[in-house]
């Protein structure tokens, strides 16, 4: 039993090392479409209740509503082509809203992936992203999320 508890604790610690976590006042990420900035919104400022403004090259791109967020980036040569974002709207006691920021096409897009997965690991392939949650793997391709194992050559780069 002690070994199981130790294994679970180590696994959780290891998984956290793979993600970039933030709740700070600002962050900038180089993407294939330019610079993505995530900035904490002033709570006294009137608005739609968002906690973080997400801007791409200075223009509004998305709003995160949680008190914290975690992201996994598909990075090649220090530039992100896709980013998975976990938006903890209900705090850390409920699964986050899961989003995909895709910068591969002509127009950068935001995809709503799920509101019930708490991601432990991300694996990137050319046309999809694989997400591990509760020892199960899921593939998000286009606009569909299905349960599927990643290929052996799936790339987990960019989870530093």
pLDDT of residue 83: 96
**In the chain, what's the furthest Cα-to-Cα distance?**
52
Question: Quick check: 56 and 38 in contact, CB under 8 A?
Answer: no
Low-confidence ranges of the chain (pLDDT < 70): 1-25, 43-49, 155-160
pLDDT of residue 101: 98
pLDDT of residue 15: 30
pLDDT of residue 21: 54
Alpha-carbon distance of 57 to 16, in angstroms, equals: 29
Secondary structure of the chain in HEC code, one letter for each residue: CHHHHHHHHHHHHHHHHCCEEECCCEEEEEECCEEEEEEECCCCCCCCCCCEEEEECCEEEEEECCCCEEEEEEEECCEEEEEEEEECCCHHHCCCEEEEEECCCCCCEEEEEECCCCCCEEEECCCCEEEEECCEEEEEECCEEEECCCCCCCECCCCC
pLDDT of residue 158: 46
Distance of CA 128 to the CA centre of its chain: 14
Q: What residue ranges do the domains of the chain occupy?
A: 18-147
pLDDT of residue 147: 95
């Amino acid at each position: 039993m002690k070994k199981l508890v130790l294994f679970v604790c180590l696994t959780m610690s290891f998984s956290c090392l793979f993600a970039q976590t933030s709740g700070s006042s600002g962050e900038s990420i180089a993407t294939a479409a330019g610079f993505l900035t995530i900035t904490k919104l002033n709570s006294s400022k009137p608005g739609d209740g968002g906690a973080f403004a997400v801007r791409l090259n200075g223009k509004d791109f998305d709003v995160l509503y949680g008190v914290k967020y975690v992201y996994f980036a598909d990075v090649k040569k220090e530039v992100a082509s896709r980013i998975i974002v976990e938006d903890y709207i209900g705090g850390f006691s409920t699964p986050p809203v899961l989003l995909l920021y895709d910068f591969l096409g002509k127009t950068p897009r935001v995809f709503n992936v799920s509101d019930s997965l708490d991601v432990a690991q991300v694996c990137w392939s050319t046309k999809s992203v694989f997400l591990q949650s509760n020892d199960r793997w899921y593939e998000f391709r286009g606009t569909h999320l299905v349960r599927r194992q990643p290929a052996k050559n799936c790339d987990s780069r960019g989870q530093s």
